[in-house]
C-alpha cells in the first residue's frame, strides 16, 4: 500500500492580520497592556512596548541583588506616578537604598518590604500580595520556585492586573516557566571609561515574538538616578577633602609643638603597647598619633 502523502496548503486569501490571532514571526502587540520599562532600546523589543501588566515577568541573573532595582525602577517610578497602589518586595536579598529610590521617583511610602524565613513563606507572601487590590506591583525573589508555583502567581497577577517580577538564578534558564516574558541579565563593562559604573546586558529568552539572539546593552542606571548618585559622590568627596584638610592642619600644629619639645630636650613619653610592653615613640610618631 502506498504511503499516505499529506500536503499543507496555505490559503493566499487569508488576511494578514486577524483579530485575536498572533503570528509567531511578529511581536504580540496589543494582546496585553504594558508598562514602559524606561529603556527605549528594550521597549522596542518587548510586546506592547514594555513590561506586561497582569502577567509574570521572570528575570534571571548570576547573583541576586545585582541588577533588579536597576532594571525595574524606571518602570515602577512611572507606574506609581500614574496609578495608586503599593509596591511589595518579597524576600529581597539586600535592603534597598531609600535615597536612590526617591531620586528616581519611587517614594518610600509606596514600598512595602516583606521578609520571609524560607522559600515556602516567600511564595505564600507573594501570592497573598497579588490577591490584594491595593497592590500595584510585586517583586519576589524566589530562587527555588517550581513551574506550578509560578503558574499560581501568574494567575493571581492576571486577576488584579498587576505588575509581577520574579527573580531567579541564571541556572533556572533550563527549567520550564509559564512566564509571559523571560529575561536574563548580566553585568556589562563599558569600554573606554574605567570609572563608569557597569551597565547591563539583557537577553530575551522568551517573549511573544520571534527569537532575538543578540543581547541588548543598557546603561548602568537611569539618567535621573545617575545625576543623583553623581551629586552624592561629589558631596562625599568634598566632605572627605575637608576632613583630610582638618587632619593635616592638626598634625602640622602637633608636629610644630613636638619639634619645640625636642629642641628643649624634654623626654618623650612612652606608650604602652597592646601586650603591656612600653615602646618609645620618636617625635614623628607622636605627631602622627596626635
Mean pLDDT along residues 64-79: 91
Would you place residue 16 in the very low, low, confident or very high pLDDT band (cuts 50, 70, 90)?
low
Q: HSE on the CB side for 136, CA within 13 Å? A: 18
Percent over 90 (pLDDT), the chain = 45
pLDDT at 187: 83
pLDDT top residue among 172 and 251: 172
Would you place residue 195 in the very low, low, confident or very high pLDDT band (cuts 50, 70, 90)?
very low
Give yes or no for residue 140 having a pLDDT over 70.
yes
**Terminal CA-CA length for the chain:** 104
Cβ contact 105:224 at 8 Å? yes
Give yes or no for residue 223 having a pLDDT over 70.
no
pLDDT top residue among 4 and 75: 75
Please state, in angstroms and rounded to a whole number, the distance separating the CA atoms of residues 48 and 55.
13
Mean pLDDT of the chain: 77
* Residue boundaries of the structural domains of the chain: 34-221, 231-289
pTM for the full model? 0.68
Give yes or no for residue 243 having a pLDDT over 90.
no
Q: Which long-range contacts (CB under 8 A, 24 or more apart) does 200-204 make?
A: 200/67, 200/70, 200/71, 202/42, 202/71, 204/45, 204/46
Q: CATH 3.40.50.300: does it fit domain 34-221?
A: yes
Mean pLDDT along residues 28-38: 79
Mean pLDDT along residues 190-197: 51
> Going by C-beta distance under 8 Å and a sequence separation of 6 or more, which residues neighbour residue 72?
37, 51, 59, 139, 165
Q: HSE on the CB side for 175, CA within 13 Å? A: 17
What is the DSSP secondary-structure string of 46-80? SGGGSEETTEEEEEEESSTTSSHHHHHHHHHHHHH
Question: In a 10 Å sphere around its CB, with 0-12 CB exposed, 13-18 middle and 19+ buried, how is residue 249 labelled?
Answer: exposed
Q: Give the 3-state secondary structure of residue 29.
A: coil
Give yes or no for residue 98 having a pLDDT over 90.
no
Would you place residue 96 in the very low, low, confident or very high pLDDT band (cuts 50, 70, 90)?
confident
Which single residue is written with the C-alpha cell 551629586? 231
pLDDT at 158: 94
Dihedral pair phi/psi, residue 177, rounded to 5°: -145, 140
Give yes or no for residue 151 having a pLDDT over 70.
yes
Calculate the alpha carbon distances from 271 to 93, 253, 255, 277 in Å.
46, 21, 18, 8
Would you place residue 249 in the very low, low, confident or very high pLDDT band (cuts 50, 70, 90)?
confident
Amino acid at each position: 500500500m502506498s504511503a499516505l502523502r499529506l500536503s499543507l496548503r496555505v490559503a493566499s486569501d487569508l488576511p494578514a492580520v486577524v483579530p485575536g490571532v498572533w503570528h509567531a514571526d511578529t511581536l504580540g502587540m496589543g494582546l496585553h497592556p504594558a508598562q514602559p520599562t524606561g529603556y527605549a532600546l528594550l521597549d522596542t523589543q518587548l510586546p506592547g512596548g514594555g513590561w506586561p501588566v497582569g502577567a509574570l515577568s521572570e528575570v534571571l541573573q548570576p547573583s541576586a541583588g545585582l541588577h533588579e532595582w536597576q532594571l525595574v525602577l524606571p518602570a515602577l517610578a512611572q507606574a506609581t506616578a500614574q496609578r495608586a497602589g503599593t509596591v511589595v518586595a518579597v524576600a529581597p536579598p539586600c535592603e534597598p537604598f531609600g535615597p536612590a529610590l526617591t531620586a528616581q521617583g519611587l517614594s518610600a511610602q509606596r514600598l512595602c518590604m516583606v521578609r520571609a524565613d524560607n522559600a515556602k513563606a516567600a511564595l505564600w507572601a507573594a501570592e497573598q500580595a497579588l490577591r490584594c487590590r491595593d497592590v500595584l506591583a510585586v517583586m519576589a525573589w524566589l530562587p527555588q520556585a517550581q513551574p506550578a508555583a509560578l503558574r499560581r502567581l501568574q494567575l493571581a497577577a492576571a486577576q488584579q492586573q498587576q505588575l509581577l517580577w520574579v527573580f531567579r538564578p541564571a541556572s533556572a534558564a533550563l527549567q520550564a516557566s509559564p512566564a509571559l516574558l523571560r529575561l536574563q541579565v548580566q553585568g556589562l563593562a563599558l569600554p573606554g571609561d574605567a570609572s563608569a559604573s557597569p551597565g547591563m546586558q539583557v537577553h530575551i529568552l522568551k517573549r511573544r515574538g520571534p527569537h532575538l539572539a543578540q543581547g541588548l546593552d543598557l546603561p548602568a542606571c537611569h539618567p535621573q538616578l545617575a545625576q543623583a548618585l553623581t551629586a552624592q559622590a561629589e558631596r562625599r568627596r568634598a566632605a572627605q577633602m575637608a576632613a583630610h584638610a582638618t587632619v593635616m592642619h592638626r598634625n602640622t600644629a602637633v608636629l610644630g609643638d613636638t619639634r619645640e619639645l625636642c629642641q628643649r630636650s624634654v623626654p618623650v613619653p612612652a606608650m604602652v603597647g597592646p601586650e603591656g610592653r612600653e615602646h618609645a615613640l620618636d617625635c614623628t610618631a607622636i605627631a602622627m598619633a596626635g
